[in-house]
Amino acid sequence: MAIEFLLNGTTTSFDGDPETPLLWVLRDHLKLTGTKYGCGIAQCGACTVHLDGKNRRSCVTPVGTIAGRKVTTIEGVAGKTAEAVKTAWVSIDVPQCGFCQSGQVMSAISLLSAKPKPSDDDIDHGMAGNLCRCATYVRIRQAIHDAAKTLEKTA
Amino acid sequence: MTAIASRREFLASSGLVIGLALPMGRAAAAAAPVEGAPFAPNAFVRIAADNTVTVVIKHVEFGQGPATGLTTIVADELDADWGQMRIAFAPANDPLYKNLMFGTMGTGGSTAIANSWMQMRNAGAAARAMLVEAAAKRWKVPAAEVKVSKGVVSHGRNKASFGELAADAALLPVPQKPALKTPDQFTLIGTDVPKIDSVAKSNGTAVFTMDVSRPNMVNAAILHPPAFGGTVKSVDKQAALAVPGVVAVEAIPSGVVVYAKDTFAAMRGRAALKVEWDLSKAETRSSDDLIKVYKAAAATPGKQAEAKGDATGALAGAAKTIEATYVFPFLAHAPMEPMDAVIELGQGADKGKADVWMGSQFQVGDMRAVAKALGIPFEGMTLHEQYAGGSFGRRATPDQDFATEAGFAAKAHPQAPIKFVWTRENDIRGGRYRPLVVHQLKGGIDVNGDIIGWDQVVAAQSFFANTPMAAMGIKDGIDDAIVEGAAKSSYAWPNYRIGCHVMENGVPTLWWRSVGNTHTAYAVETFMDELLALGGKDAVKGRIALMKEDRAKGVLNRVAELADWGRKPAEGRAFGVAMHKSFGSYVAQVAEVSKGADGLPKVHKVWVAVDCGIAVNPNVIRAQMEGGIGYGLGHALYAELVLGEGGRIAQGNFDTYRSLRIGEMPEVEVAIIKSNENPTGVGEPGLPPLAPAVANAWRALTGKAVRRLPFSHGENA
């Protein structure tokens, strides 16, 4: 039986093995490839999406467990916080290879949604699950602080 | 867009394609627009009627910045507006797009900007001269009076965009030696031009090989032998074929491939495989076994790579000496995007052709390898170069291991396009590692504390051995990539000898971000620090006193100034310094370190001074220094691949192959030395000084010299 969920605001269904991780449903079946595979065991965070507004590693999330729930990917994430984060990311050129950055951006949006003015420690904790092999961490930290400032001004 | 513009396409789009005017050959003549002839596909610059300027990028972009850097150079000579610049990746074509330092297309050795510098300037300047000439003709004014600024060509009240002039300009001859700017005329070079790929890489729209999809494509996953050198003896396909979605199982020379309707099914099928392996020729020794053999070798002089004076005599007469053995582990590159390729074989009339989507680092070599595996001519290959999700050296191999494997995987299932993606476990256990290395050092000082003798022996595998590059890479039993950084070092030791042992074992190895400098910088810079301390010398002044080159002294002086070297560290902290030249660039770093909760160094801040000649894009240079520091620190602290019993790799994913996380990243402050020298690279040189700077701070803090990496290795506890 098909599994229905809300994907980026649109009701979507997947008719296949309910054990299939959400990551591969998104990438292989729905062709939403902004969400990346990096490890398959929830160690790198490249596959981070929002499930009911909170971070979720899609590589270890069987699609059968998300029926009726709300999934947001990098392609669909929107709103003031999302815009502030993406703008900050571009304005200081955070990405290098860029492969992990969808996951980084999604985690940063979650972090700022929960903590609008994060400290360095908050960032260390909130972003600990997202690896960047290019080590763009200095700029990720800066971009999150910059986005927080933008949000404060427009609040 | 395709990088090759045919004459027909050109006419259809009224675009201007400017060929390269190079010192390197026939390209310029071939690119001249000849009526009725196919337009020469040897272009770096393409100007369309819509006023976009596309630069054809001949290097792979995996974060080190050539897409932005090469485009900046063209845009500057062209006096284009940055907003009109676009990029397209070059096809696999050596005559047009070879790395001028390699003779074939390739990215490595931090050469992307260095080899392209004059080529891109000439390409941009030629385009500018033709636009100016076209405008002069249209307005009937002297070309010398026509100005170009930010994409606008003007003379008095006359103004035109590049797009408006493109069709006219295309009819003009390509100048062979266009006038180039002097450095004071640069408007974009030397500024923080925004990176051309930041938007797409921040909103999920950047396309990597893994994101490519073709009609009727199947997903393919591979299982490799459990030890290096193993081969498939027999496969029981039934269990894997029983997994829903799996469509085929095939043995290829390097393993067993599972083809399926999606990645999940392919991975499940892979997990279900029952394979009997032939391990009779496999490397079954453990890392500990190998280290014993290496240590024994390093205790003997080896082949002499470089020497001056009488090191043995000087050491025998020294007032004080130190001896040390250093051990460096195998390391995986582990780029965030594992190795992958999409391959589609031509059907029917297109039989004998193949399309390949790949973030290839050796574009022509890889296409030749795929063609060879497929049994079709190279001329039938079309490469669609993609952004690559990191490499650190992994995507370039002298024997094209991955491209060959992908080719065999496609050949074994020719009826459908395949997306062939390595799992992270394939990547971590897949070999092509930074080699295991042992250094044996002996150094001595005289009664004044001056270093008078230095003897260093390096034992490591050569990654050129048994590849087509063996004759080039290994000469008289010496591989420069093993000793580089110890040989041709920045120091004028009065008596020294650098020895080399080319070791052999069954583990495939490869260059890894900064190659030999990954270990030579650590051994040289920590041992120097110990000898200077033994002689009562300051770590900065003592180094400078022995340095041969002003640029080496320059970065060390600058970083000392930046970090306020000599000041007292805060309680529980210490500073360490290191300097290393690699790939023509000079980098000095000071690290501020304390003892972390895990008992390992906690690095608070790193100050950097870098001299890489003319700074094309200071922002990219700073980013590469930050990245080199993060990559270097993560591996120095946590990473090693250990061959356990039977030669099996103990690590398999990021849970056991530990990577740096954000809370472990130090603050970084970078000073770029102002220079008029031609630019050299920055992708690698930021890495080598980091680990020794941290180790030197750690020794100052704890008194302990760490001679086995990573720091987390049990021997350092």
What confidence tens digit (pLDDT) does each residue in B240-284 have?
Answer: 999 999 999 999 999 999 999 999 999 999 999 999 999 999 999
Beta-strand relationship, B218-223 and B437-445: unpaired
Asked if the model's pLDDT at residue B63 lies above 80, the reply is yes
pLDDT for position B109: 84
Residue type, B385: E
Q: What are phi and psi of B605, to 5 degrees?
A: -150, 150
Please give the distance of CA B1 from its chain centroid, rounded to a whole number.
25
pLDDT for position B23: 30
Contacts of B381 (CB under 8 A, 6+ apart): B92, B353, B354, B356, B367, B368, B370, B371
At B454, list the tokens.
Answer: 């230095």
Q: What residue ranges of chain A are covered by domains with CATH 1.10.150.120?
A: 80-154
How many CA atoms, within 13 angstroms, populate the side-chain half-sphere of residue B140? 0
Question: In chain A, which residues have their Cβ closer than 8 Å to the Cβ of B629?
Answer: 135
Which chain B residues in 279-338 lie under 8 Å from chain A, judged by CB atoms? 334-338
Q: Determine the 3-state secondary structure of B46 from DSSP.
A: strand
B215–A contact, CB cutoff 8 A:
no
Alpha carbon separation from B199 to A84, A85, A110, B247, B474 (Å, rounded): 13, 12, 20, 38, 44
Q: What are phi and psi of A19, to 5 degrees?
A: -75, -15
Cβ-defined contact of A134 to B63 (cutoff 8 Å): yes
Cβ-defined contact of B267 to A40 (cutoff 8 Å): yes
**Cα–Cα nearest to A124, from B2, B661, B703, B286:** B661
pLDDT for position B43: 67
pLDDT for position B20: 34
Q: What residue ranges of chain A are covered by domains with CATH 3.10.20.30?
A: 3-72
Burial of B6 (0-12, 13-18, 19+ CB in 10 A): middle
The answer to whether the beta carbons of residues B113 and B624 sit under 8 Å apart is no
Q: What would the mean pLDDT of B628-643 be, rounded to a whole number? A: 98
Distance, in angstroms, between B220 CA and closest chain A CA?
Answer: 12
Segment (H or E) for B365? helix B363-374
Distance, CA of B442 to CA of B444 (rounded, Å): 7
For helices B162-170 and B112-139, give the axis angle rounded to 10 degrees. Answer: 90
pLDDT for position B21: 31
pLDDT for position B13: 37
At B491, list the tokens.
Answer: 């120091």
Distance, CA of B398 to CA of B510 (rounded, Å): 9
Q: What is the pLDDT of residues B603-626, one digit of tens each?
A: 999 999 999 999 999 999 999 999
Q: What would the mean pLDDT of B14-41 be, rounded to a whole number? A: 33
Beta-strand relationship, B147-149 and B16-19: unpaired
The answer to whether the beta carbons of residues B244 and B199 sit under 8 Å apart is no
Cβ-defined contact of B336 to A134 (cutoff 8 Å): yes
At B14, list the tokens.
Answer: 């009224």
* CATH 3.40.220.10 correct for B287-332+432-716: no
Q: What would the mean pLDDT of B662-676 be, rounded to a whole number? A: 97
Question: In chain A, which residues have their Cβ closer than 8 Å to the Cβ of B387?
Answer: 97-98
Distance, CA of B365 to CA of B378 (rounded, Å): 10
* Least confident segment among A47-51, A137-141, B120-124: B120-124
Helix/strand/coil (H/E/C) assignment for every residue in B164-190: HHHHHHHCCCCCCCCCCCCHHHCCCCC
Beta-strand relationship, B152-155 and B601-611: unpaired
Question: Which of A134, A140, A146 to mutate: most B Cβ within 10 Å?
Answer: A134
Q: Which residues of B236-270 are buried (b: 16+ CB within 10 A; e: fewer)?
A: ebeebeebebbbbbbbbebbbbbbbbbbbbbbbbb
Residue type, B416: A
| Count of C-beta atoms within a 10 Å radius of residue B319 | 14
Q: What is the pLDDT of residues B200-254, one digit of tens each?
A: 999 999 999 999 999 999 999 999 999 999 999 999 999 999 999 999 999 999 9
Alpha helices in B235-310 (DSSP H): 238-241, 263-272, 287-298
pLDDT for position B38: 23
Contacts of B365 (CB under 8 A, 6+ apart): B104, B105, B106, B400, B403
Burial of B375 (0-12, 13-18, 19+ CB in 10 A): exposed
- CATH superfamily membership of A80-154: [2Fe-2S]-binding domain (1.10.150.120)
The answer to whether the beta carbons of residues B370 and B384 sit under 8 Å apart is no
Helix/strand/coil (H/E/C) assignment for every residue in B640-654: CECECHHHCECCCCC
The answer to whether the beta carbons of residues B112 and B687 sit under 8 Å apart is no
The answer to whether the beta carbons of residues B366 and B358 sit under 8 Å apart is yes
Distance, in angstroms, between B265 CA and closest chain A CA?
Answer: 8
Q: Determine the 3-state secondary structure of B144 from DSSP.
A: helix
pLDDT for position A1: 75
Class of domain A3-72: alpha beta
Class of domain B7-185: alpha beta
Distance, in angstroms, between B668 CA and closest chain A CA?
Answer: 7
**Cα–Cα nearest to B650, from B700, B706, B590, B713:** B713
Percent of chain B with pLDDT over 70: 94
pLDDT for position B42: 37
Beta bridge partners of B238: none
User: Closest chain B residue to A21 measured between Cα atoms?
Assistant: B264
Cβ-defined contact of B626 to A75 (cutoff 8 Å): no
How many CA atoms, within 13 angstroms, populate the side-chain half-sphere of residue B264? 22
Alpha carbon separation from B560 to B554, B606, B628, B686 (Å, rounded): 10, 12, 20, 17
Q: Which position has the higher pLDDT, B402 or B548?
A: B402
Cβ-defined contact of A24 to B263 (cutoff 8 Å): yes
Distance, CA of B411 to CA of B406 (rounded, Å): 9
Mean pLDDT (chain A, rounded): 97
User: Closest chain B residue to A140 measured between Cα atoms?
Assistant: B662
Query: Quick check: bond before B689 cis, omega within 30?
Result: no
The pTM of the full predicted model, rounded to 2 decimals, is 0.94
CA quadruple B117, B121, B124, B126: dihedral sign: negative
Reported confidence tier of residue A51, pLDDT bands at 50, 70, 90: very high
Asked if the model's pLDDT at residue B31 lies above 50, the reply is no
**Rg of chain B, C-alpha, whole Å:** 27
Q: What is the pLDDT of residues B312-339, one digit of tens each?
A: 999 999 999 999 999 999 999 999 999 9
pLDDT for position A135: 98
Distance, CA of B9 to CA of B526 (rounded, Å): 59
Distance, CA of B78 to CA of B122 (rounded, Å): 10
Distance, CA of B332 to CA of B427 (rounded, Å): 8
pLDDT for position B385: 97
The answer to whether the beta carbons of residues B690 and B668 sit under 8 Å apart is no
Q: What residue ranges of chain B are covered by domains with CATH 3.30.365.10?
A: 7-185, 209-280+339-421, 287-332+432-716
Cβ-defined contact of A40 to B424 (cutoff 8 Å): yes
Which string of DSSP letters, residue by residue, matches B646-682? Answer: GG-BS--STTTS----GGGPPEEEEEE----SPP---
Report the largest interatomic distance among the alpha carbons of chain B, rounded to a whole angstrom: 81
Mean pLDDT (chain B, rounded): 92
Cβ-defined contact of A40 to B421 (cutoff 8 Å): no
B663–A contact, CB cutoff 8 A:
yes
At B477, list the tokens.
Answer: 């039993």
Percent of chain B with pLDDT over 90: 88
Reported confidence tier of residue B468, pLDDT bands at 50, 70, 90: confident
Q: What would the mean pLDDT of B48-77 be, rounded to a whole number? A: 94
Q: Determine the 3-state secondary structure of B5 from DSSP.
A: coil
Q: To 10 degrees, the CA torsion angle through B219, B224, B226, B230? A: 160
Asked if the model's pLDDT at residue B558 lies above 70, the reply is yes
State whether ipTM is beyond 0.85: yes
**Cα–Cα nearest to B634, from B672, B594, B614, B661:** B661
Distance, in angstroms, between A86 CA and closest chain B CA?
Answer: 6
Which string of DSSP letters, residue by residue, matches B521-538? Answer: HHHHHHHHHHHHHHTT--
The answer to whether the beta carbons of residues B679 and B618 sit under 8 Å apart is no
Distance, CA of B455 to CA of B316 (rounded, Å): 11
B62–A contact, CB cutoff 8 A:
yes
pLDDT for position B470: 87
Distance, CA of A71 to CA of B226 (rounded, Å): 38
CA quadruple A124, A130, A134, A136: dihedral sign: negative
Which residue do the tokens 């396409």 mark? B9
Asked if the model's pLDDT at residue B10 lies above 80, the reply is no
pLDDT for position B1: 32
**Cα–Cα nearest to B266, from B257, B275, B258, B254:** B258
**Cα–Cα nearest to B224, from B655, B643, B641, B649:** B649
Distance, in angstroms, between A137 CA and closest chain B CA?
Answer: 5
Q: Determine the 3-state secondary structure of B578 from DSSP.
A: strand
pLDDT for position B41: 25
Q: What is the pLDDT of residues A17-26, one digit of tens each?
A: 999 999 999 9
Distance, in angstroms, between B264 CA and closest chain A CA?
Answer: 6
The answer to whether the beta carbons of residues B605 and B666 sit under 8 Å apart is yes
Contacts of B475 (CB under 8 A, 6+ apart): none
User: Closest chain A residue to B332 measured between Cα atoms?
Assistant: A133
Cβ-defined contact of B662 to A141 (cutoff 8 Å): yes
Distance, CA of B116 to CA of B71 (rounded, Å): 11
Distance, CA of B647 to CA of B657 (rounded, Å): 17
Give the one of B629, B633, B653 whose C-beta lies nearest to A39's C-beta: B653
The correct CATH number of B209-280+339-421 out of 3.40.50.2300, 3.90.10.10, 3.30.365.10, 3.40.50.970 is 3.30.365.10
